[in-house]
Amino acid sequence: MKAATRPKYCSPNALFITELPIPTPKENEILVKVKATTVNRSDCGVLTGKPWLIRCFIGLFKPMRIVTGTDFSGMIVKKGKQVKNFNLGDDVYGFFDEGLCSHAEYVCVSIKTAILKKPSGLNYEQAAASLEGAHYAFNFLNKVDLKPGAKVLVNGGTGAIGNAAIQFLKYNGAIVTATCETDYIPALKSLGTDIVIDYTKEDFTKLNEQFDFVFDAVGKSSFSKCKPILNPNGIYISSELGANWQNPLLAIISPLMKGKKVKFPLPISIPRSMAFINDIIEKGKFSPLIDRTYRIEQIREAFEYVMSGQKKGNVIIVFD
C-alpha cells in the first residue's frame, strides 16, 4: 500500500510516498481502507515535531510512528476477534491528534480510539474534514457557559477551527461576529455568521461594541488587544500559546482576579468531541468548509499549503 513516511522529524520536502505491507489488525483493531484523510495543523506538528512540547507525546528524539496522518474516513475491510460493535463494510471515521498513520491506503485502528460510524449524510471527504478543527472548536465552547443570545466574536472564521466554531455557536443560539478576508464574506454568511468583518479593511479590536466571548481561532490577536471589546466579565480564548506563550499563564492568573479572563482550550477528550460532532452532523447543523483536494502523491504540496497558514477550512487527501 502507498503511505506517506518519514523516519525523523522533518519539513514536507523530506516526506516520501513509500510502498508498505498492508497491516494486519490485532484482536481489538479494525483494518480500514482509507477513502479520505486531511492534512491539518496537528499533522504539521506531528511531521515537524514543533512546537517541541509535542514531542513529549509523539516521540522525544524521533517520531514513534513513521507514517503521518491523524484522521481518516473509510471502510472496514478486516477486524480482530474482540471487535463486536463494528462490522465488515461499515463506513467509519476517526481522529487521534498524536497520530494514526492515516496518510496511507490502509490503517489499523484500535476500537479504543475515537472512531464512529460515518453519518450517512456526509461523503468520505466531508467526514474526514469534520474532525480535527471541529474537535478544537468544541474545546473552545466547552470552556465557557454559553447561553442563547451570547455575543461572540470569532477571529479567523475561515480556519478549520474558526468555521466549525461559527457553526457550533450558531447551533447554540449565539450571536456571532467573525473575521475573514474580502473574498470569503459570502462563505461566512452562508455558515450563519450574523456580522462579518473584513480583516483586511477593519481592525475588529477597534469595534465600538462588547462581546461575552472572543474566540481567537487563529491566535493572531491577544488578550490585551481584545480587552476593550470584552464585556466586564468577558472571556478571551486563543488557539495559540501567544507571542510569548502568555496565554496558558494568563489562564491560570486571570481567574484569581475580578473582571475579564483568559481561558486556554486544552483539548481533553476526543471521544467527547466526536460524540458532539456526530450529533450535530446527524441534525444537519454542521458541514465543514473544504478548501482543496490533493492525491496522496501530492502530499508534500498539501503540507506546504497548510503550513502557509492560508487554507480555508480543510485540505483533503484522497487515494483513487
Ligand X SMILES: NC(=O)c1ccc[n+]([C@@H]2O[C@H](COP(=O)([O-])OP(=O)(O)OC[C@H]3O[C@@H](n4cnc5c(N)ncnc54)[C@H](OP(=O)(O)O)[C@@H]3O)[C@@H](O)[C@H]2O)c1
Closest separation in Å from C-beta 7 to ligand X: 24
Q: Which of 25, 69, 94, 162 binds ligand X (CB under 6 A)?
A: 162
- Which of 29, 238 has the CB closer to ligand X? 238
Q: Which of 41, 103, 151, 261 binds ligand X (CB under 6 A)?
A: 41
Question: By CB under 6 A, which span of 35-43, 62-70, 141-149, 271-279 interacts with ligand X?
Answer: 35-43
Q: Which of 93, 136, 215, 276 binds ligand X (CB under 6 A)?
A: 136
What is the spatial distance between Cα 238 and Cα 10, in angstroms, rounded to a whole number? 27
Q: Which of 130, 158, 222, 278 binds ligand X (CB under 6 A)?
A: 158
Site string for ligand X, 187-206 (x = CB under 6 A): ------------x-------
Please name the residue that has the C-alpha cell 454568511: 189
Question: By CB under 6 A, which span of 83-91, 140-148, 156-164, 271-279 interacts with ligand X?
Answer: 156-164
283 CA to centre of own chain:
20
Question: By CB under 6 A, which span of 6-14, 81-89, 278-286, 305-313 interacts with ligand X?
Answer: 305-313
- Which of 94, 156 has the CB closer to ligand X? 156
Closest separation in Å from C-beta 199 to ligand X: 4
E strand map for the chain: 2-5, 16-19, 29-39, 71-79, 91-95, 106-110, 115-117, 151-155, 175-180, 195-198, 211-216, 230-238, 261-263, 290-295, 314-318
Please name the residue that has the C-alpha cell 472496514: 76
Closest separation in Å from C-beta 118 to ligand X: 21
Counting contacts by CB under 6 A, is residue 219 touching ligand X?
yes
Helix/strand/coil (H/E/C) assignment for every residue in 53-94: HHHHHHCCCCCCCCECCCEEEEEEEEECCCCCCCCCCCEEEE
What is the spatial distance between Cα 319 and Cα 35, in angstroms, rounded to a whole number? 7
Counting contacts by CB under 6 A, is residue 55 touching ligand X?
no
Q: Would you call the peptide bond into 51 cis, given omega within 30 degrees of 0 as the criterion?
A: yes
Which residues are CB-neighbours of 157 under 8 A, at least 6 positions away? 163, 165, 166, 178, 179, 180, 184, 188, 191, 193, 196, 217
What is the spatial distance between Cα 71 and Cα 68, in angstroms, rounded to a whole number? 10
Counting contacts by CB under 6 A, is residue 311 touching ligand X?
yes
Whether the CB-CB separation of 227 and 250 falls below 8 Å is answered with: no
Counting contacts by CB under 6 A, is residue 49 touching ligand X?
no
Site string for ligand X, 267-286 (x = CB under 6 A): x-------------------
Tell me which residues touch ligand X (CB under 6 A).
Answer: 40-42, 133, 136, 155-156, 158-162, 179-181, 199, 217-220, 239-240, 267, 309-312
